[in-house]
Amino acid sequence: MSRHFLSIFDLSREEFTALLNRASELKSAKKSGKEHRTLAGKSIALLFEKLSTRTRVSFEVGVNDLGGDALYMNTSDMQLGRGETIEDTAKILSSYLDGVIIRTFEQERIDIFAAHASVPVINALTDLEHPTQIVSDLFTVAEKGIDVQNFKLAYIGDGNNIVNSLIGAAGVLGFNLSAAVPEGYEPDQGIIKRAIDLGGEIEIVNDPFQAASGSDVLYTDVWVSMGQEEESSKRNELFKPYQINSELLEAANNGAYVMHCLPAHRGEEITQEALEGPSSIVFEQAENKLHAGKAILEMFMRT
């Protein structure tokens, strides 16, 4: 049976830590030009139903760096886009490929694909989760010398896929997470419960300053995720108090870092000063998607 990476909860604490260590090794290898062709001969497809810049390019380059072949497939170019079933697509693609990386809408779509695939499947973002992003983000936090099992992260904004996977990670690793979201835009209740059951200290509040207080990292994401474009004007109004700016940064611990998975909307969820200022580790976060992505590929696609 193939092992899939569909949710952040698919990792144990030991595996999560092993990924962070391996990402660091792979980053050093890349920087020093040392070859690391651990996926030589493997063909891995990226099956994307939503747009992507970072995840697509970092996984394509990552597969190539590891000696494999990457194929990018936009589902609108496939029979899947005109009604062929996910089940049939999964079975057939499994007979050509050694692994599939999927970006889609409902979590159910990737779950169905994985249930009918005989090769490993990696979640590259669904409406519910973005687990590969969060592994990369925790690698970035660890690189700053922060103990990922013992720090406080404040998430400010929409209760979306990013914060869902951050909450899962807080459960798996054991760090503290406080999310400030407007009423009615809470993260997934099932994920919160599961993370708390694992021992995570999770707090959901409405006041961004309450969340930011005592935090080592301030994290935000777009107010309007892919697929929510019709809600743009309502959300852009409602989320205004949920911005990372210098005032909010003042409420965090001295030396706190600013994070954003990107793409950013300057002047909405984050100010230009916060994004480009000395506390920001946003662009390191983006680069690290390559190194952490390769650690994930090795863990799930090498079998």
Chain contacts with ligand CP (rule: CB under 6 A): 52-56, 125, 133, 261-262
Conformation bin of residue 151: beta by default, left when phi > 0, alpha when psi is -120 to 50: beta
User: Do the beta carbons of residue 162 and residue 170 sit within 8 Å?
Assistant: no
Quick one: 71 or 92, whose CB is closer to ligand CP?
Answer: 71
Binding mask 259-278 for ligand NVA (x = CB under 6 A): --x-----------------
Nearest approach, Cβ of residue 225 and ligand NVA (Å): 3
User: Could you give the dihedral angle defined by the CA atoms of residues 29, 30, 34 and 36, in that order, rounded to the nearest 10 degrees?
Assistant: 80
For 85, the 3-state DSSP assignment is: coil
Quick one: 27 or 54, whose CB is closer to ligand NVA?
Answer: 54
Residue in 295, 296, 293, 244 with CA at minimum distance from that of residue 273: 244
- Check binding of 49 to ligand NVA (CB under 6 A): no
Quick one: 27 or 94, whose CB is closer to ligand CP?
Answer: 27
Quick one: 94 or 124, whose CB is closer to ligand CP?
Answer: 124
Q: What values do phi and psi take at 72, rounded to 5?
A: -95, 130
Residue 179 interaction partner, one of ligand CP, ligand NVA, none, beta carbon < 5-8 Å per kind: none
Residue 225 interaction partner, one of ligand CP, ligand NVA, none, beta carbon < 5-8 Å per kind: ligand NVA
Residue in 72, 142, 147 with CA at minimum distance from that of residue 292: 142
Quick one: 89 or 225, whose CB is closer to ligand NVA?
Answer: 225
The length of the chain is 303
User: Do the beta carbons of residue 240 and residue 265 sit within 8 Å?
Assistant: no
Q: Which of 161, 245, 271, 285 binds ligand NVA (CB under 6 A)?
A: 161
Interface contacts to ligand NVA, rule CB under 6 A: 125, 160-162, 221-222, 225-226, 261
